[in-house]
Structure 1
Amino acid sequence: MEILEEVELCFPQLLNASCKKPIRSHFEFILSYIILSSITLLTTTLNLLVIISIAHFKQLYTPSNLLLLSLAVSDFFVGLLMFFQIILIDGCWFLGDLMCTLYYVLDYTITSASIGTMVLISIDRYVAICDPLHYSTKVTQKRVQVCVCLCWICSIIFQIVVLKDNLKQPGRYNSCSGECVVFSDYITELVDLVVTFIGPVTMIIVLYLRVFVVAVSQAHAMRSHIAAVTIQGSVKVTAKKSEMKAARTLGVVVVVFLICLCPYYCVAYTGDNLLNASSDAFVMCLFYFNSCLNPLIYAFFYPWFRKCLKLIITLKILQPGSSETNIL
């Protein structure tokens, strides 16, 4: 009897039909709430600033920035969906089976679109550095718009197919009231793993390694060429800075992406029983934190974003003709 009194139920009125709340210390509960709330606030705010910047200033209407805009939009919605993770902190889902399934569909769709956009960004930078003479003809505004639309449409269709059984009968895989789970068979999970993780990660790594090699070789070539006609010392410094900048930027992009996403996919496809509740929560936070870091990696490294940020914070974008401001 004493054990029964200590157990907390999600829906006490349902007795045996209700899920039991996981046993967590007050410290763990507060810490999880603070971390998730902070990540949510940062993710939505930073990505909203990127969206406003690119959408408002006409000088930023370029193919590359359109990809950054798509990434910021997907990451912004990831931040909004994290409110549902805050709801799940106590281990209970109170919004019904249909909302549970729709949450997973939206979550997987937006995450897939975010990863897909990162692949498009890597392709864009590959063409820009490895084939700069044909970049303007290969990468046009219209082609990028089509690619972005296809990325989102394919993400939506793919995730609906993956979760079709859950959509037909929401809550069919819940073992008790207050649980929010979705299920797919082994083949579907394997295809999902390849399409949404292994494939994109492989493509991003290969393209960025190629970009890195070309960038370093171009820096060496420029140093050798200019050294013959100018002061050798200053050229060495410039070339060295170019090489270090290429290495640092590409390294951050690849390493942060893998650090944030690999633990989640490893746990998701090998079994949650390998971790306890606290470690599982950390993996989820790390996965979502990638959407918070994306605007820092892809936008804060650009000088134009710092200028846009200043104009947004000072509300100068509300002035007439502010969209024509010289940002670059």
Structure 2
Amino acid sequence: MDPAGARPRIHELDAARGFALCGILVVNIWQLTDMRAMVGAGTVDPMRHVLSVLFEGRFFPIFSFLFGLSFSLFLDHAAERSDRPRLVLARRLVALGVFGLIHHVFQPGEALLPYAIVGLVVLLPAAGLPRWGILLGGLVATIGVPVTIGGGLGLVPGLFLLGLAADRFGLADSLRDRGWRIAVVFVLAVPAAVAAGVWEYRTPYIALWTGSAAPVAGLLGALAYLTGFLLFRRTETGEVFAEVLEPMGRMALTNYVSATGLVLAADPWLGLSDSNRYGALLALAAAIIAVQALWSYYWLRWFRYGPLEWVWRCVTWWQLVPNRLTRQERRKLTVPYGRGR
């Protein structure tokens, strides 16, 4: 249960958020350290090109979609606790923007500040619209951006709206009953994602920044990854992975920001800056994921929220929110997160 409300946590979404964080980390490492993409005049590093097709633009859309969905869930919760839920949400987004401003000093390409701005400008006004209008707006914005401006942060408004619409249509609360629908989307998305990935791979690397190949392939890849992960989570092996990823997803803000510090601290030792040591990049990403998985798991044995999540919640509600778990609550956590849900 959400400690601050009566609505059960949706463990699939926590796990999917943790899954997206892992993929985003790979891309953030080469952006933070300014690794070389080229190995010669007009020749892209083969491993960088492969990693770009597998990771770049695939996990950021998942994270953005889940942000819009979580915004809707929190708005409903705020409406139950406050007579002015939009003010609560506005304060929450402003606090996120402050986190983003600070984080921007260390990672200029970070997403928190743009998320806060788009949330205030797009999500808050759109939350009062009919659900079909939100869905249509999300589809138009998401599909139109790759055709016009090429993707990147321009995809955020549309993906936010799609996440908001997903909750308005009851997707969040009925995920476990939609297995065959998710499977149908996965079966359709995989060949489309593969074809788009081939298109992206065959596009000259420099041209990817201005064309439609990368954003289209990224969106289709994100859809295939997300639906595939949701199906995989329904297996016994998938449950084990989910139990690792769920705590990371619950502490997404803390893990996203702390990963920047870990990358910057490790870079001088690994010599990633201005290099093409992509094997070392993958090793660093795996190490950070392992550290954050353990840290998140054990932190949430004792506390309700991650460190930054707790500060964020206190500012959101403008009061000191209890964070430390009681002894009785800790006993209940002997049951793994993913079991029995």
TM-score if structure 1 supplies the norm length? 0.30
TM-score if structure 2 supplies the norm length? 0.29
Structure having the higher Rg:
1
Which one has more relative contact order, counting CA pairs under 8 Å at least 6 apart? 2
